[in-house]
Amino acid sequence: MKKPATSGIKIVKNLLLVVFTFVLVVAIFSSLYSTAPAPKQVNLSDLANNINAQQVAKITVSGNTVDATLKDGSLIETQKETETSLSDTLKNYGVDPKTLSAIPLNIQGESGWQYWAGILLPTLITVLIIGAFFWFTFRQAKAGANQAFSFGKSNIKLFTAFKDRATFNDVAGLKEAKQELMEVVDFLKNPKKYLDLGAQIPRGVLLLGQPGTGKTLLARAVAGEAGVPFFHISASEFVEMFVGVGASRTRDAFATAKRAAPSILFIDEIDAVGRERGAGVGGGHDEREQTLNQILVEMDGFEKDAQVIVLAATNRPDILDPALLRPGRFDRRVVLDLPDINDREAILKIHARNKPLAKNTELRQVAVRTPGFSGADLANLMNEASITAARKGRKEVIQDDLYDSIEKVLLGPERRSRALSIHEKEITAYHEAGHALVAASLKHSDPVHKISIISRGQAGGYTLKLPAEDIHLKTRKQFLADLAVAFGGYSSEEEIFKDLSTGASNDLQIASDMARKMVVKYGMSEKFGPITFGKTEELVFLGKEISTERNYSEQTALEIDKEVENIINKAHEAAKKIIHQKRKVLDALAKQLTEKETIEKEEFDLLIKKFGIKQGEIA
């Protein structure tokens, strides 16, 4: 709210208006009272002289003012005394009554409209001006008050009326995300189909992904495809200066969506309010927290068959409050990855639609050079290319314009994601291939689902392993296998480049934590056996460790460190051995990764089979 500043400007405006009106009125008055050329002011004796000299053609008396028109056409004016009549006065000045009676005398009574206007108008106008001033001031104050009362209303927007409608055709790649959302849309279109089978309509779908990966775009596409009312609000709009506004806006937004059911409510950038709430640590009943609570309440409050689906988007899933992610709220999560080479090409194609490209441009070559670019970066790239072409006076965008734009986007201030250089790409490929190869070789490791060298969060790439079945308990052998896999990337870099990169630091941290927990928490070390060390205070309901109290001696601490080191060294050795023995497979994997950037499970299985490796051959 910028109230003080604007109201200051308004008061000045009103004052100007009043002054202007005043000037206008004065102007009107003066023109009213001086229609004729101004008469010459004389005194009574001059008038008497003129009459005696037979110069006067006509006399007009109005009130005390005497106007005389002379025979030469000029006007003179004088004042007479109030009480006496003009003829008496003139007689006293020595005018012959006969001469006087020969002049037409016109007496205008002052009781005419002019008289009243002369008295009333000034008063009336003063009253009007003051009235107008008050009216303006009050109206303004009232507007302010109304604004204050409408704070609790969300400025929720109905999306269907949006100018730039998007459909799924405008979204390249993101196959899984699209599929998931299509399902949700179908739920809303044909609820009976699902309800008859006893299925419950999902309440919330959370879109997760780095900035520029197309979360908002995808939501807009859903709006375009859904055929149901689609409401859109940015979470930051919930929160205002005044406490309690967020909560009531949330209520209002949900109420609006419910009234229009079946409908979709899209809350963009939900991390603005969905941050993890403090657990009484460092206090915190702030506005955001209340807003979040209200969202939770509203989502729980949907009746079983309420046909409102809440879509939300965030690029910071790590800071979201766990309560938001509980079943019954945002129980579906859709991850939007940075695009791989094929997706990048498809995105470039979409954004090249309305741009004249030269015949020999190859968007594929641009895609090859832009690993790590987000969809937004690529859209920006195409735009920059057009600008460059226009500036150089070309009618078409040529390949060099595209290449030049890569650098521009890379250096631009907006740039958030990072691109890999050719060498980095190679290191990352070998690193991830190392993880995957070790995971595939060990019996107790989870099978590999997907490998990618497109960065995700802080890591250069990632290898996704998923357990074949749900597990609730984890065994010592599984821990050891996971440790070895964690060292797969590190060992691969060692083996190939005889050097190490910072890319492995996260792996090492995870490995160290895991090894230490095995020793102090799970009693899984050979040396100490079934004993735990340290007392960890946990915030049970949040599952967060706050502090660890040490309840053992320095001596023991030293031995624990040694045991952790021991476990880690063994894991490292195991990984090293696998990497060294299967160097050929590693090379092949890394090569394919460099080319394609992502390898799905089927391709991966095929490739290791070709080298005669069976999933989990090493116990």
Treating both helix axes as pointing N-terminal to C-terminal, what angle do 287-301 and 245-259 enclose, rounded to 10 degrees? Answer: 20
Which residue has its beta carbon closest to ligand ADP?
Answer: 375
Q: How far is the CB of 3 from Zn ion (least distance, A)?
A: 54
Q: How far is the CB of 341 from Mg ion (least distance, A)?
A: 24
Q: Which is nearer to ligand ADP, 230 or 430 (CB)?
A: 230
DSSP 221-262: HHHHHH-S-EEEEEGGGT--SSTTHHHHHHHHHHHHHHHT-S
Counting contacts by CB under 5 A, is residue 489 touching Zn ion? Answer: yes
Counting contacts by CB under 5 A, is residue 314 touching Mg ion? Answer: no
Q: Counting beta carbons within 10 angstroms of the beta carbon of residue 275, is it exposed (0 to 12), middle (13 to 18) or buried (19 or more)?
A: middle
Residues in region 498-557 near Zn ion by CB under 5 A: 507
Tell me which H or E stretch contains 40.
Answer: strand 40-41
Answer whether 272's CB lies under 8 Å from 165's CB: no
Residues 331-350: x where in contact with ligand ADP by CB under 6 A, - otherwise, as a string: ----------------x--x
Q: Which is nearer to Zn ion, 371 or 489 (CB)?
A: 489
Which residue in the set 216, 250, 405, 428 belongs to the binding site for Mg ion (CB under 5 A)?
216
Helix locations, 412-448, DSSP H: 422-441
Q: Which is nearer to ligand ADP, 379 or 519 (CB)?
A: 379
Instruction: Tell me the three state secondary structure of residue 539.
Output: strand
Answer whether 514's CB lies under 8 Å from 482's CB: yes
Q: For residue 215, which of 252, 266, 260 has the smallest C-alpha distance?
A: 266
Q: By CB under 6 A, how many residues form the interface with ligand ADP?
A: 17
397: left (phi over 0), alpha (psi -120 to 50) or beta: beta
Residues in region 364-393 near ligand ADP by CB under 6 A: 375-376, 379
State the catalytic residues: 432
- Distance (Å, whole) CA 181 – CA 173: 14
Q: Tokens for 372? A: 């790590």
Q: How far is the CB of 210 from Mg ion (least distance, A)?
A: 11
Residue in the structure block whose two tokens are 């090379």: 587
- The stretch near ligand ADP (CB under 6 A) out of 35-43, 204-212, 416-424, 430-438 is 204-212
SS (H, E, C) 326-381: CCCCCCEEEEECCCCHHHHHHHHHHHHCCCCECCCCCHHHHHHCCCCCCHHHHHHH
Q: Which is nearer to ligand ADP, 48 or 171 (CB)?
A: 171
Q: How far is the CB of 449 from Zn ion (least distance, A)?
A: 15
Q: Which is nearer to ligand ADP, 214 or 317 (CB)?
A: 214
Q: Counting beta carbons within 10 angstroms of the beta carbon of residue 271, is it exposed (0 to 12), middle (13 to 18) or buried (19 or more)?
A: buried
Q: How far is the CB of 268 from ligand ADP (least distance, A)?
A: 7
Which residue in the set 172, 181, 235, 575 belongs to the binding site for ligand ADP (CB under 6 A)?
172
Residues 433-472: x where in contact with ligand ADP by CB under 6 A, - otherwise, as a string: ----------------------------------------
- Distance (Å, whole) CA 150 – CA 240: 12
- Which of Mg ion, Zn ion, ligand ADP, none interacts with 382 (beta carbon under 5 to 8 A by kind)? none
- The stretch near ligand ADP (CB under 6 A) out of 156-164, 182-190, 211-219, 255-263 is 211-219
- Which of ligand ADP, Zn ion, Mg ion, none interacts with 489 (beta carbon under 5 to 8 A by kind)? Zn ion
- Under DSSP, the state recorded for 410 is H
Q: How far is the CB of 177 from ligand ADP (least distance, A)?
A: 9
Residues in region 21-50 near ligand ADP by CB under 6 A: none
- Which of Zn ion, ligand ADP, Mg ion, none interacts with 379 (beta carbon under 5 to 8 A by kind)? ligand ADP
- Distance (Å, whole) CA 155 – CA 468: 46
Q: How far is the CB of 375 from Mg ion (least distance, A)?
A: 11
253-263 b/e (C-beta count within 10 Å ≥ 16 → b):
bbebbbebbbb
Q: Which is nearer to ligand ADP, 219 or 608 (CB)?
A: 219
- Distance (Å, whole) CA 420 – CA 110: 97
The residues binding ligand ADP (CB under 6 A) are 171-174, 209, 211-217, 347, 350, 375-376, 379
Site for Zn ion, rule CB under 5 A: 489, 507
Q: Which residues bind Mg ion (CB under 5 A)?
A: 216
